[in-house]
Chains A and B, each alone.
Chain A
Amino acid sequence: MTARPVPVQNRRLRVIRGGQHLRPTLGTWLVFTAVAILLFFALILSRVALDKPALELSELRTQIEAGQARYQQLRLEVAQLQAPDRIMSRADELGLIYPDSLQILIADGVGDGAPAAGDRFADVKSILTAAP
């Protein structure tokens, strides 16, 4: 059990000089940058692709609204042009007058079986509901 000196271990720190081959090369940086840029643009592209239909939809909606407004304006214009008061004024301007006497001709079959007012309106309504 004699004491024996413990062998002194060399515990000096060791410098590892292997860093040069681990440092990213210029090529790696370029590839990384390119990928990053591509990803960035891909992201933008995806956003644009996603937003585009929404914008188109919005544009279409605007067009529909404008079309409807135009349709209503045209309906109004037609109604105003057909107004009896306007037609009478125009007839007066053109020098049209009532005849002194009337001769009424009655054609067989005409007028009999003519559609009722309600049915005539149904025809008109079917056109109107096809409005934009």
Chain B
Amino acid sequence: MTVTDHSKAELESEGIALGAHTEDSRAYRYAAFGVDNHEIPTGREEEWRFASLREIYPLLQATETTVSEDVVAFDVDEVEGITVGSLGADEAPRNTLLVPEDRIAAAAAELTANALHLKAPKNTVVEQPLRVEITGKDGSTASHAAIVLETEESARATYILNHTGTALFGENVEMVVGDNSEMTVISLQDWDDDAIHVATHVAHLGRDAKLKHIVVSLGGRAVRVNSTSKFNAPGSEIEQIGLYFADDKQHLEHRLFVDHAAPKCTSDVTYKGALQGKGARSVWVGDVLIRKEAEGTDTYELNRNLVLTEGARADSVPNLEIETGEIEGAGHAAATGRFDDEQLFYLRSRGIPEIEARRLVVRGFFQELIQKIDVPEIREHLTDSIEDELRRSMN
């Protein structure tokens, strides 16, 4: 077993807990259906202490929703092999994976009559990504959505959720990753500057399944994506990739929980963010739980932040709970840094002007992640978006 290279005492101070789980364990967080069963948070709660509560307050308060093309419009690609349907609140697999841990998720589960259901049936391998365009048109009316993504046994599919425009939007996404299937999900938060978006993602993986979960947050006033991935059977793999770029007054929060509840599964999480401008804020909280039965687990999570200007703040909290010693490996790393003066000096000593040198460093910082995204159009879009972000601050 390898738990980075620290002693146990140091591990605990860094948020690595060893031994049987306690009431503080991420596994025991309160969860229930019904908006009324959840309090409006005060900001003192562990799961809300970094949140942009003022911005998302209208969503926390909402006890009704407006589902309308005039508020948030959905446009779903047709892709051969993928079935498009809808699921009522009581129709499985909807609401069987996601049990709400907060009011916004509870509202999306309870108030939306129909969930969008996309499914790759058994043995269906679909290379072409299916794109869902989610376009916000009204930032003052609370709107919710539920989405169920599925790959049945031995199927393969890629789903893209592209969020643009402006909205006050609560969204639940459930991912049913069947035995021996492969699912890629890309959630792009490309909102206008004033959008508020709180999303809850929950994935369950069957045996020998693979999930690649990619979250990209570039736009929006406040975006919070809370994702949980649970291994229910052995032999499965999760790769989680996150990329964010926070500007002036933007608050981008990514929380994730990887629940190793079955043996011989692998999880690999890499989130990277850049921040620029006054009040730019990012939060990353990565919880990994290796349950007693999860022998042979191999897990690694990494968060890196690059603070480009004064006045920006990145919080980064990795937590690892380990209930068995019989694992392959468990590690985490989190670092937040400014530009490396030695890198800049090296590039400038080759004639490269400072602005261009900074660009090269930031592009390079994200390049490693962009290379891992298998959809060329998304790769190009991200490369262009990062150029746009850099143009804003560095000219």
Partners in one complex: no
A residues sitting closer than 8 Å to B (CB atoms) are none
